[in-house]
Chain A
């Protein structure tokens, strides 16, 4: 936590310098520090379309540069960036929504319906498939709270939804994942995961 606080203070100082001097070189340091997880977040949300994820990540940083003076330091800079990235994703998804929803439904019908999937040692792939069966809000909440390691409050900010909804989406998402994955896990202890390492 102390490390996170220290990183947040460094980010806040960099933002202040970038805004005061209108310094793109300082902003470049911020991009280098955060591009990895912003792109990872978008790749996860887009279901492994790296080129598109990078385009949206680029849009995210251009927007961040434009709005940098609006960053008040009320949240961590990374949280603020994830919020912009998620907005870019939502905007893209709404514009493409109909077509992609159809593709997604087709994939689901053709592929891995729950209970039909056979146990496999490629559990990473199974988890990806299970994650794709969650609703968008559940996927996004699990991504923020578990995979990106944000607090529920930070996730609420990123996803622009009430704190209670975030907690509900995480709980329901995890319950559904457990239900989907339980056939593949032979024991509830950590031994259950060892064999897949």
Chain B
């Protein structure tokens, strides 16, 4: 019973391996299926935040909160109405930024 040497075995294995496959249109097929990469345009984010802020402001127009907020600012105080309005504007701006990121 003969033992196959390490070198012989490696040679046999390499010869049994067919090696690189010819392209035959494979690359073109891959390139057709590549997903389009969406570039993030971070410059749009401040615009989205501003748009969100304006929308939030418009939404608050019918509310007495806005009048209260104006009164507080005129007398130079920072009360509950100011806190609520600022918080709401911040949240709506944040939602605008999130939406912009999602859409990019």
Contact of B21 among A27, A36, A61 (CB under 8 A): A36
Is A49 an interface position by the 8 A CB rule?
no
Is A192 an interface position by the 8 A CB rule?
yes
Determine the distance from Cα of A72 to Cα of B7 in the docked complex, in whole angstroms.
35
Is B2 an interface position by the 8 A CB rule?
yes
Is B43 an interface position by the 8 A CB rule?
no
B18, B19, B23, B34 pick with most chain A CB within 10 angstroms: B34
Is B75 an interface position by the 8 A CB rule?
no
Where chain A touches its partner, the secondary structure class is: helix
Is B35 an interface position by the 8 A CB rule?
yes
Contact status B20-A37, CB under 8 Å: yes
Contact status A31-B27, CB under 8 Å: yes
Determine the chain B residues whose CB is within 8 A of the CB of A31 once the complex forms. Answer: 27, 30-31
Contact status A146-B15, CB under 8 Å: no
Determine the chain B residues whose CB is within 8 A of the CB of A128 once the complex forms. Answer: 16
A28-B31, A188-B4 known; A146 vs B26 contact (CB < 8 Å): no
A40-B19, A123-B12, A147-B14 known; A181 vs B4 contact (CB < 8 Å): yes
Determine the chain A residues whose CB is within 8 A of the CB of B27 once the complex forms. Answer: 28, 31-32, 35
Determine the chain A residues whose CB is within 8 A of the CB of B23 once the complex forms. Answer: 32, 35-36
Is A71 an interface position by the 8 A CB rule?
no
Minimum Cβ distance to chain A for residue B90 (Å): 32
Using A66-B35, A131-B16, A174-B9 as known contacts, list a sample of 20 further A-B pairs with CB atoms less than 8 Å apart, ordered by residue number in A. A24-B34, A27-B31, A27-B34, A28-B27, A35-B26, A40-B21, A44-B17, A44-B18, A61-B34, A62-B30, A62-B33, A123-B16, A124-B15, A147-B16, A178-B4, A181-B9, A182-B1, A188-B4, A188-B8, A190-B11
Could you name 14 residue pairs across A and B whose Cβ atoms are closer than 8 Å? A24-B34, A36-B20, A36-B22, A39-B26, A58-B33, A62-B33, A124-B16, A127-B13, A147-B14, A177-B9, A178-B9, A186-B2, A189-B8, A192-B8
